[in-house]
Chains A and B, each alone.
Chain A
Amino acid sequence: MNYDFSEEAEKLFEAIRSIAATAPAEEDLAGATVDTISAALREMLKTLAGAGYLQDGLAGDASESAVNQMAAMETLAGQARSLFLAVEMSTRVLGRALARWGTGATQEQWREGLLQGQWIGALALSEEAMNVQNDPLATVGSRKDGRVVVSGGKHYVINAPLADKIGVVGLLDDRPAIFMLDAGTEGLSISEPVPTMGYDGIRMADVTLDACVLPEENVLLPPEGTPVLDLLRQWENEVLMAAALGMMQAAFAEARDFAKSHRSGGKPVIAYQEVGFKLSEMLTLYQTAQLLAYRAVWTLKDQPKEGAALIWCAKVFATEAAERVAGDALRILAGQGYRAGSASESAYRAAKWTQIGGISTEIARVRIGDQALGYAPGR
């Protein structure tokens, strides 16, 4: 047992802090064009790749590395909220799928391109009918003359309007597969960016595939029996956990600093129990969520089933705690917090996505309950 980070890990966090400090402010990305966001994201991807951040933790590294990576992600998420999510969906989710299951030169090229920060990637997973029981995917490919033809529709695809490469999850030969499409592929259409409540600096869109044709080597086909959908969601859950931790870190720090400096009735507002106690509850939620998230990713390596359950627990706890911490921060900051540009206001809106994305907190609870009962998932 050891609750300390190594010196090497601390250096990584410091490097990430420095990189994140150069990111454009969240409010500056809010009304920005797709091109502006794309440029900022590409710059961030390249810098992070240079720091070794994008390649870490993708190929089932040791437990300690997974914890270090989670803490590094939290660091980035705390300072560059939207760009963090965009980076991670490109690398930690799509890039990880390629690192885990990729074969052949084309897939190697994709993997390198994404993990070296040369390309922006997007993973298209959600569909209209997907639910707790993982109803069969409606996006389906069929083989024809040595190529694959795929049709279907996907919703809420982060990075879709910016992406160079899109991995579309569907079925091929009745098995889950990821169809790797270039952005300009014929039959692939991307909707206008979907307006969102939070995450002002990301761009998400719906994706439609109308008989898109791709070479067979562009199909990522994980080994038979791999729980592909569960794993993809698990990786997204890890990203969203880190996002939630980052939000708490930023909202708590903003509220604490304000409470120490803002005076009312002749003393700093932190001296009032209504404020000091609220901050205490916020810090308690943050530290608790942090340790639970670290332990969850640490457990995954040697106890994958137990680790997966802990990821659900951590995802639920951290993302719900993030909304509460950000909400309480807003109350402490009062008018200051309600203004656009406040880290807490932005976190309050973004926290909702962390609860919805990946596995929703409702479905996660059903899964946790099923496991406690010894039931098959989604019974």
Chain B
Amino acid sequence: MDFSFSREQVMFKKEVIRFAKKEIVPRVQEHDLNGEFDFQSFRKMGDFGILGLHFPEELGGGGADVVTTVLAGEALGEAGVDGGLTLAYGAHSFLCADTIFRHGTDAQRQHYIPKLASGEWIGCMGLSEPDAGSDVASMSTTATRQGDTYVLNGTKMWITNGPIADVAVVYAKTDPDQQHAGISAFIIDKGTPGFSAGPPLLKMGVRTSKTSELVLNNCVIPAENLLGNEGEGFLMAMQTVEWDRSALLAPFVGSTTYLVKKCADYAKGRVQFGKPIGHYQAIKRKLADMRIFGEAARALVYRIAWCKDQGRPLNHLEAAVAKLFIGDWSLPVTNDAVTLHGGYGYTHEFDVERIFRDTRLAPIGGGTSEVQKMIISRLM
């Protein structure tokens, strides 16, 4: 076993942290309070090379491996970038762009990837539905072949980047009589007649990411917008799980490092009963539990990333273990961070309050903790 990163990877992570602290973090609180997506920062992430990091250079990407890509996600969290922006980045780069890159034709890649990698276009993925979350096979959205077109009908729900996306990868049943085998994936461009996004949903956390439903009402798209072949959609959706369990979890790991530092700084400066509260063992305990969580989570995430770099099929059990641990254990840690700050932690003045709200999504998004437990118990 070898847990080391290359010198280049370590340097790159530092660069991402430096970039994020300078270009993104100063506006994070403002955007969160206003519930606004930070287009400027997103575009800067594209310019810096983060959005297309793992795509080939000829398509405008950085040619990086998965571990390096995950390091970038950790770095964003460590710098203090909010969960909304990192979620938007994940939905864009991995759930949308990567699916097109992996399963699209050369023409589709050439058309979409450079603009998605630069951030000129924003992408989203439409999988969940109002009545079909983790139970993907019960989706009711349909795609009916009519000559050289498909006609899509249905509603997608909880779509990160839905209201702002230029491109969507949407899953629909081409064979409603089939379960998983009847699902196919399609690329839909913004402005396509019959395709619309609902108003942004008001959310508890990750407020800078815009989430909505997507409505497909006799939406007609060219047949060449089919990704891969009919019936391959479920496997494509499952491949995004690899990213869900590595790059999308990485910001939580980085965010914990950020929290430890923020809380330690506060504890050193906040004096009660004649001494900094950092001198009390109860405070040290909270800091210790934060660090322990962060260190424990790190190896789980990089294990998935490393396996993906080796070209191994996803080990669903290991992936679910990573998701379950980070989902469930991140909550007490962020809760402690708020408590450690006392009344200040309850206000918008201190970003621990935002991190607490953002983290609440961890055991929900990308498959709830309960779903992870179902997966693990079936596979063990």
Contact = CB atoms under 8 A, between A and B. Distances in A.
Interface of A: 1-5, 63-64, 67-68, 256, 270, 273, 276-277, 279-281, 283-285, 287-289, 291-292, 294-295, 298-299, 309-310, 313-314, 316-317, 364-366, 368-370, 372-375, 379
A373 B267 contact: yes
A373 B287 contact: yes
Interface in B280-313: 281, 283-292, 295-300, 302-303, 306-307
B38 interface: no
Contacts of A309: 291
A63 B288 CA distance: 25
Q: Specify the main secondary structure of chain B where it touches its partner.
A: helix
B376 interface: yes
Contacts, number: 142
Among A298, A309, A369, max chain B CB count under 10 A is at: A369
Interface stretch (B51-59, B241-249, B318-326, B343-351): B318-326
Interface stretch (B83-91, B168-176, B366-374): B366-374
B273 interface: no
Interface in B184-243: none
A303 B44 CA distance: 35
B39 interface: no
B264 interface: yes
Nearest to A294: B1
B283 A284 contact: no
B45 interface: no
Interface stretch (B2-10, B28-36, B105-113, B354-362): B2-10
B325 A284 contact: yes
B300 A1 contact: no
B283 A369 contact: yes
A257 B134 CA distance: 28
B307 A3 contact: yes
A86 B311 CA distance: 43
15 contacts: A1-B3, A1-B306, A2-B306, A63-B2, A276-B374, A283-B376, A288-B325, A291-B303, A295-B3, A298-B1, A309-B291, A317-B292, A366-B288, A373-B268, A375-B279
B260 interface: yes
Given A3-B306, A284-B324, 16 more contacts: A1-B2, A1-B302, A2-B306, A284-B376, A288-B296, A288-B300, A291-B300, A295-B299, A316-B288, A317-B292, A317-B296, A366-B281, A369-B286, A373-B268, A373-B287, A375-B279
B373 A276 contact: yes
A287 B322 CA distance: 9
A294 B306 CA distance: 16
A1 B276 CA distance: 40
Interface of A is mostly: helix
Contacts of B376: 279-280, 283-284
B288 A364 contact: yes
Contacts of A379: 279
Contacts of A276: 373-374, 377-378
Interface size class of B (residues with CB under 8 A): 35 or more
Contact of B380 (A4, A280, A316, A364): A280
Contacts of A365: 281, 284-285, 288-289
A291 B380 CA distance: 18
Contacts of B374: 273, 276-277, 280
A256 B380 CA distance: 8
B16 interface: no
Nearest to B304: A3
Given A1-B2, A294-B299, A317-B296, A287 B321 contact: yes
B201 to A, nearest CB: 29
B73 interface: no
Determine which residue in B284, B287, B324, B372 has the highest number of CB atoms from chain A within 10 A of its CB, and name it.
B284
Contact of B299 (A270, A292, A373): A292
A368 B321 contact: no
B284 A368 contact: yes
A284 B317 CA distance: 9
Report the 5 A-B pairs with minimum CB-CB distance, sorted nearest first: A369-B284, A276-B377, A280-B376, A368-B288, A291-B299
B3 A287 contact: no
A370 B373 contact: no
Contacts of A1: 2-5, 67, 302, 306
B377 A313 contact: no
B162 interface: no
A288 B294 CA distance: 11
B123 interface: no
Contacts of A279: 376-377, 380
Contact of A287 (B288, B318, B373): B318
B285 A64 contact: no
- Best-surrounded residue of B263, B287, B297, B307 (most CB of chain A within 10 A): B287
Nearest to B286: A369
Nearest to A1: B306
A281 B5 contact: no
Contacts of B300: 287-288, 291
B278 interface: yes
A313 B3 CA distance: 17
Contacts of A277: 370, 373-374, 377
